[in-house]
Amino acid sequence: MTKKVAVDWDEQQIRIVVGEVSSKQAKITDAAILPIQTAGVGTTLRKWIEEKGLEKAECLVAVGRDSAELRQMEFPPVPDEELPDMIRFQAVRTFASAGDSATVDFLPTSRTEKGVRAIVSATGSSKLDPIRKALQEAGLTVGRIALRPIAAAALYQIVLRDSQADSTRSTLALIDLVGDEAEIVLFRGRDVSFVRSVRLPSQSPARVNALAGELRRSMIACGASGSPCDIAIWGTADRHREELDQLAERLDQGQDKPSDKRLINPLQIVDCDASVEPSVGETVGRLAPLVGLLVADGGHGDRLIDFANPRQYVPPTTNRGKLAAMIGIPAAIVLGVGWLFWSQLSTRDAAIAELEAANAVVREEVKTADASVQRTERIDQFLDADVNWLEELVRLAEALPPAEELIVKSVSATASDRQGGGRLVVAGMVTSPDVIDEMESALRDEAHRVVGDGASQVDTEDAYRWQIRETVTLGGESVRAERYERIAKLMEQSSVDASAEGDPESDSAESPPDQEARQEADSANLPTATGSEVQS
């Protein structure tokens, strides 16, 4: 059995589960919940990995909904091997952050004569690269980067759902409470039907009321409204029994009366060493996605949404005789051409020696260029904190909901001198939690990350009953890209203007656009281009 490490983290802590995985089973051997040190995720994780001697273990990562877009989509009936290309094409057109370089994966939920339904998720390199960088700092090799709610659903599906005799008829709401968030997965029969992640108020009873409302909306979305729905929450009785009872009581007052309710300890439904559970205490429920990753990695990878191994087009099989001809003929051609090249190798020795001499000269020039690049990078790191707050405020004003749904109380902006970019903190009041989802979707894109501190309900007769605080983070990479784009446009415009004028004196004088381009480039220590010259 191969030892593997499953990891996920948020802004405060790192959750780790270690297991021995084979194609038939997984055994949990260790687990930990670590506070993130000031040095960062990579350093904190590396220290723990070195203490446990797991430097060569493969790492499976679970990521939350804030790292990817997720939608339920329908497609025409097509063969399985053509489905990945069709879904990727549709996702690029539908998802806000899914460009040509986006990573798209999906989980089929049903197939009928009318078409295929699937849960589709997309993310970009701006989300995946920091994860890979943190794991590289920790000395780990990435095996999977899977969506957290789907990984938890896979654990329940593999270990419990497939073995239930009546699971083909019932509806189940599987809930993972992670801090001020709830990840809801609805099962219709044995398959995942709907996935939803929501933010919750931090205090009861508003927390339970909000969770009950989101559960009802999820059941309506997947066509299960009005039918009995079992409820299962990942965790222990000491931590979640009261919330489970209150949630069942709220649902009992409507049409979605639960027929069964239960708490599930993820470490008690798999093979696990006795010393593991005491090491994590009451927060064991948060480890469900990580246990699910280890269980699914052995032989059920098709039940995950995995951005490190997305589903790809499967080419059809070919005739063996045709395949042999396709391989043999090119191989014969390659051998013949290789013999010709071999016969001429003696004439190439002089050219190789000449190129080696030229390379020796170029190496010195490369060293000088590398030093210039390092100086430019230091200046870029300083300028990355120079955020154009006026443009950010214009974008914020255009994306916010109308005044009938939102009142803004305050807006504060802070630049990050160390990491570049900055943050906009918006505080206000909204009429309903749905306005929060709408606002976060409008503000979020590939350059902006939106994180809310949770909504709290205010006792007032006014229509604005929900108090919110949303943080919009702009990364330093985006500030840098925008700066370089402006410099390129100024340089291009100055070159065009100089060419159009055709002034012979342009060799000795710079036009105002040229001066602006040179000043903008000098501030970033970049090469400048004027209407009469190009420097590199």
- pTM equals 0.57
In degrees, to the nearest 5, what angle opens at C-alpha 68 toward C-alphas 427 and 161?
115
Parts of the chain with a pLDDT under 70: 97-98, 161-169, 253-259, 313-319, 502-536
CA 71 – CA 91 distance, rounded (Å) = 9
pLDDT at 529: 39
- β-bridge partners, 187: 172, 192
* Contact yes or no for 197/225 (Cβ under 8 A): no
Q: What is the pLDDT of residues 72-89, one digit of tens each?
A: 888 898 888 888 888 888
- Spatial separation of the C-alpha atoms in residues 264 and 156, rounded to whole Å: 9
Residues 292 and 154: beta-carbon distance below 8 Å: yes
Write a three-state SS string for 376-430: HHHHHHHHCCCCCHHHHHHHHHHHCCCCCCEEEEEEEEEECCCCCCEEEEEEEEE
CA quadruple 280, 285, 290, 295: dihedral sign: positive
Say how many CA atoms lie within 13 Å of 281 toward its Cβ: 5
